Amino acid sequence: MKLVSISVDSLATRLYVYYTLFIRFLILMKITSVFSALLAGSGIALAVSSINPAAAITTTFGFQNIIEGQPPNGIDGTVATSGNTAGDAYVGNFDFDVVSGSGTVDFKFNNKFINSSTKVDQIAFSGTSSLFSTYTPNVGNSGTVSFLPITTGTFPQGNNIDQPWTIVFRLSADGPTNAIDPNETFGIRFTLANPNTYQSVIEAITVGTLKTAIRVQAFSGDGSDAFVNSSTPVPEPITMLGLGVGTAGLGALKRKYGNKEAKAKVVV
């Protein structure tokens, strides 16, 4: 018989790498819940909820400021030196969900302000004609929200976007009371045009061929501003939680054994 030395540090490192790859696989599979990662000595258990293939898929996007004089997209990562900047500090309070349906896709615009008079009173889309055949506004609204589509008119700061707006939604006849107030949602249901799918819509947003924008009123000092969508989805909170817990746990395991030079002896 001979003794083979196995480095505990090497084993911990391999476990860490394998577990990290596994977590990334779960993210790609759109896992809906990651409950916990449990460590018991050198044993690791991960509890994960099952995936319901019939469940609706939701992807959330945020907004960013429209920068005047910044063609071709009207957006970049710098601070605007001109134009309307009244709402730049508050853009994180607005987002929209893209929800899959049976041959349909819902867009749900959310005002997440708390204790504020700030409201969304106009919404615009560009690049819709190749993706959708019809649309229905005011689907799944929350609060006293009501918008109507218009076929003519302009959108604030819209000339700084490199493609024309194909659909613009404005408030119905009752005016400001029907805007998207804090903690309210406005929904639009689009019917997919063949052969498009939910994934076609998400890809169009990420590459910039489908854009949406909002106008927001009543910032501090009666200011208003317009925002265009971000092309990067907002990470799912439960996915980030699962990744954080799992990575932290494996990191602790690696630290526990990584500094030890002790070796296990295996008889072969």
Q: What is the pLDDT of residue 25?
A: 58
pLDDT band at 78 (very low <50, low <70, confident <90, very high): very low
Residue-wise pLDDT for 202-229, tens only, equals: 999 999 999 999 999 988 766 888 999 9
3-state secondary structure of 178: helix
| Packing angle, helices 237-258 and 8-28, rounded to 10 | 170
Which H/E stretch holds residue 241?
helix 237-258
Q: What is the pLDDT of residue 144?
A: 93
Rounded to two decimals, the pTM is 0.67
Q: What is the pLDDT of residue 16?
A: 64
In this predicted structure, the answer to whether residue 188 has a pLDDT above a threshold of 70 is: yes
> Which whole number is the average pLDDT over 28-46?
39
3-state secondary structure of 153: coil
Q: Confirm if 210 and 2 have CB atoms less than 8 A apart.
A: no
Structure tokens at 261: 């030079």
Measured in degrees and rounded to the nearest 5, phi and psi for residue 93 equal -85, 5
Residue-wise pLDDT for 146-155, tens only, equals: 999 986 667 8
Give the percent of the chain with pLDDT over 70.
56
Residue-wise pLDDT for 82-129, tens only, equals: 456 778 889 999 999 999 999 999 999 999 998 788 999 999 999 999
Q: What is the pLDDT of residue 155?
A: 80
Give me the domains of the chain, ranges plus CATH numbers: 3-50+236-267 (no CATH), 67-233 (2.60.40)
Give the C-alpha separation, 152 to 157, whole Å.
Answer: 16
Give the C-alpha separation, 211 to 19, whole Å.
Answer: 37
